[in-house]
């Protein structure tokens, strides 16, 4: 059994016409402000362009494409404009509604192009991608229904012959898992009541056998009573519905083929045969870290029962994957983060399916605004000139991707408090805004916005009993209050918080930086308890050579002109251009570092 080779792009969490926020002390120009306002729209345009340039078979959009509550006309226009471009390129678009763009919002959009198909959860029959020969290549459904046909005769799983198997796509989320678990708990209680009622009916000769729903949420039927009887004191919470592999051995059934009344037999369980699918596991064979074990088990059951090969994971902004024997669960993240707390850059995923069923996923950078973080150690000989040169060299080692327009750069300067303050007094932030306002590599230019954070190191005074030393020892020990693991556990155990407030506070905790809090505590302590900061530095700081320098644009340009070889500079630009022409994740499989970190 083979699959039709296909290639598609998977994108989610686009959130059209939602502005991006950046922490910076610089005053934004009208041009930069416009780029921030249009960043999410620009990222969607990049997704459309990638679909056309890579000649994909279809585009899969899985939730939160726009925010219906905003009622943004610009978002609707950008959406229709992108769909029309894909229609002209003869590329199909499959849409799975999400939380912020529910089915009602998609139904209210008039005149969607004919290439756009929306998978509604109320419609059990999947959408199909059919080639010119009428062969079903792919099916997309917003709900994982089981069985070849439901009770109304609707085909909910595309039929397959012995030679060809359609690639089946559906959607899954932790919210669906929680709902299924609640429904299973309710149905488990109901099934126990029906079991007790059936026992009573059996005792009085009533042969009626009602259909029930087991604790795993599937339709099952009660078999005829046999030699064994069900204990009347059966605990309602101890029901165990086994899979076909766990059912009683056929040899244990009596000649009348009447198994014990305590057994439950699934209807038509033979249809749930595993479909062979292969995923490249060369680097990360399991990739289940960060996933709840119960959720993983539910995913396995869902993929097995629905014969699904690819599940779009929704309800999360983080790029992550879960590899299972039946296929792949994947979230492409967001195409454009709204701030640095969501992600450093936005991505969509290029998914390639081979005829053998092998799945390969590559990340494509789509964000207009990226966040960069760098750490620099500041030692005694550091001057403003040398620090600026180090910063520029650091930035030139980065690749500018085709979608990049703005880099919001956060510099963490580590070192002696007196040295760090000396750099601030020499207007480091002004020098960055003037000298490093943009960067050009390989013919591509990106605008730069800088944020400088000083992270002073601890100190050891000659007198260990000095107030400054005691204060430092105290705050270094107690800074764990800002620990990103400790605070969520405190919030989780607070019973007086409503779910809404707990979610808000957890989002605030995610933005806490324990290191920056400690840096501020150290800086304040030095102001309170140390009269002369020179106590924290060596005597060489007071020399004329290390007193710090004011720097101008002419000074940097003159130094670069004197020290650099034009031929070497051209060669560096050429090498950078060759590197930057390679899209992000060109050789990245699903099991690369992008997933291993999760």
546: number of Cβ within 10 Å: 18
d(CA 48, CA 50): 5
Give the Cα separation of 274 and 307 in Å (integer).
Answer: 7
CB 279 within 8 A of CB 595: no
Q: How confident is the model at residue 469 (pLDDT cuts 50, 70, 90)?
A: confident
Q: Say what the pLDDT of residue 395 is.
A: 94
Average pLDDT over residues 21-43: 87
Distance CA 324, CA 144 (A): 17
Region of residue 134 (left: phi > 0; alpha: psi -120 to 50; beta: else): left
Task: Kindly state the average pLDDT of the residues 410-423.
Answer: 88
Residue 423 · residue 384 · CB < 8 Å: yes
What is the DSSP secondary-structure string of 120-140? -TT--SPEEEE-TTS-EEEEE
Q: Which residues partner with 265 through β-bridges? A: 221
| pLDDT for the residue numbered 227 | 36
Instruction: With H, G, I as helix, E, B as strand and everything else as coil, classify residue 25.
Output: coil
How much is the mean pLDDT over the chain?
74
Mean pLDDT over 343-362 rounds to 92
Q: Is the pLDDT of residue 361 over 60?
A: yes
Residue 553 pLDDT exceeds 60? no
Quote the tokens at residue 220: 């099952």
Query: In this model, does residue 473 exceed pLDDT 60?
Result: yes
With bands split at pLDDT 50, 70 and 90, how would you rate the model's confidence at 153? low
Which tops the pLDDT comparison, 156 or 487?
A: 487
Stretch 322-328: mean pLDDT? 89
**Sheet-wide strand order for 264-266:** 211-213, 219-222, 264-266
Mean pLDDT, range 9-16, rounded to an integer? 96
Q: With a cut of 50, say whether residue 538 has pLDDT above it.
A: no
Q: Reply yes or no on whether the pLDDT at 552 is more than 80.
A: no
Query: In the chain, where are the structural domains located?
Result: 177-271, 369-563
Tell me the pTM. Answer: 0.69
Write out the two tokens for 112. Answer: 């969607």
104 vs 275, more confident? 104
Q: Using one digit for the tens of pLDDT, what is the confidence trace for 154-186? A: 555 555 555 778 999 999 988 888 877 777 777
**Of 394 and 306, which is predicted with more confidence?**
394
Going through 259-317 in order, the beta strands assigned E by DSSP cover 264-266, 310-314
**372 or 260: whose pLDDT is higher?**
372
Q: Quick one: pLDDT band at residue 138, thresholds 50, 70, 90?
A: very high
* Mean pLDDT computed over 469-475: 84
With a pLDDT cut of 70, the percent of the chain lying above it is: 67
Match 């471009």 to its residue by tokens: 85
Closest by alpha carbon to 91, among 122, 129, 57, 125?
57
Assign 488 to helix, strand or coil: helix
Average pLDDT over residues 274-301: 64
Q: In this model, does residue 558 exceed pLDDT 60?
A: no
**pLDDT at position 595, please?**
37
Strand partners for 8: 58, 351
- Higher-scoring residue by pLDDT: 248, 387: 387
Asked whether the predicted pLDDT for residue 470 surpasses 80, the reply is yes
């Amino acid at each position: 059994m083979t699959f039709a080779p296909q290639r598609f792009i998977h994108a989610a969490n686009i959130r059209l016409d939602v502005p991006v926020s950046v922490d910076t002390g610089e005053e934004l120009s009208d041009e930069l402000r416009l780029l921030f306002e249009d960043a999410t729209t620009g990222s969607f345009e990049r997704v459309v362009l990638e679909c056309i340039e890579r000649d994909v078979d279809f585009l899969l959009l899985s939730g939160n494409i726009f925010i219906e509550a905003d009622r943004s006309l610009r978002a609707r226009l950008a959406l229709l404009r992108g769909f029309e471009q894909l229609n002209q390129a003869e590329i199909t678009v499959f849409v799975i509604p999400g939380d912020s763009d529910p089915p009602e919002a998609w139904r209210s959009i008039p005149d969607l192009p004919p290439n756009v198909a929306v998978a509604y959860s109320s419609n059990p029959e999947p959408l199909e991608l059919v080639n010119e020969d009428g062969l079903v290549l792919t099916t997309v459904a917003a709900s994982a229904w089981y069985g070849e046909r439901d009770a109304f005769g609707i085909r909910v799983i595309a039929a397959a012959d012995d030679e060809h198997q359609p690639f089946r796509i559906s959607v899954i989320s932790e919210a669906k898992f929680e709902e299924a678990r609640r429904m299973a708990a309710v149905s488990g209680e109901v099934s126990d009541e029906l079991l007790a009622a059936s026992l009573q009916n059996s005792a009085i000769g009533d042969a009626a056998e009602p259909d029930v729903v087991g604790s795993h949420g599937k339709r099952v039927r009660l078999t005829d009573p046999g030699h064994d009887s069900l204990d009347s004191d059966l605990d309602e919470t101890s029901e165990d519905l086994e899979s076909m592999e766990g059912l009683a051995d056929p040899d244990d059934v009596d000649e009348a083929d009447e198994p014990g009344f305590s057994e439950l037999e699934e209807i038509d369980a033979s249809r749930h045969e595993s479909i062979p699918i292969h995923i490249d596991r060369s680097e990360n064979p399991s990739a289940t870290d960060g996933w709840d074990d119960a959720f993983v088990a539910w995913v396995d059951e869902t993929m097995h029962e629905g014969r699904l090969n690819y599940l779009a994971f929704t309800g999360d902004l983080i790029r992550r994957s879960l590899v299972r024997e039946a296929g792949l669960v994947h979230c492409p993240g967001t195409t454009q983060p709204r701030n640095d707390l969501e992600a450093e850059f936005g991505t969509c995923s290029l998914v390639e399916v081979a005829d053998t069923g092998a799945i390969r996923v590559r990340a494509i950078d789509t964000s207009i605004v990226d966040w960069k973080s760098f750490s620099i150690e500041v030692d005694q000989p550091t001057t403003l000139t040398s620090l600026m040169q180090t910063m520029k060299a650091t930035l030139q080692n980065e690749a500018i991707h085709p979608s990049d327009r703005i880099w919001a750069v956060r510099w963490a300067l580590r070192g002696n408090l007196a040295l760090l303050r000396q750099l601030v007094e020499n207007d480091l932030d002004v020098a960055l805004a003037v000298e490093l306002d943009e960067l050009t590599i390989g013919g591509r230019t990106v605008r730069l916005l800088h944020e400088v954070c000083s992270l002073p190191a601890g100190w050891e005074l000659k007198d260990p009993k000095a107030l400054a030393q005691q204060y430092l020892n105290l705050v270094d020990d107690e800074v764990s209050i800002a620990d990103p693991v400790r605070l969520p556990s405190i919030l989780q155990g607070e019973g007086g918080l409503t779910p809404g407030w707990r979610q808000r506070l957890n989002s605030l905790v995610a933005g806490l930086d324990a290191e920056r809090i400690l840096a501020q505590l150290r800086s304040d302590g030095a102001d309170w308890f140390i009269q002369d900061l020179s106590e924290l530095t060596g005597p060489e700081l007071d020399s004329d050579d290390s007193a710090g320098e004011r720097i101008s644009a002419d000074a940097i340009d003159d130094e670069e002109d004197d020290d650099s070889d034009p031929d070497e500079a051209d060669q560096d630009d050429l090498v950078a251009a060759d590197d930057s022409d390679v899209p992000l994740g060109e050789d990245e499989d699903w099991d690369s570092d992008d997933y291993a970190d999760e």
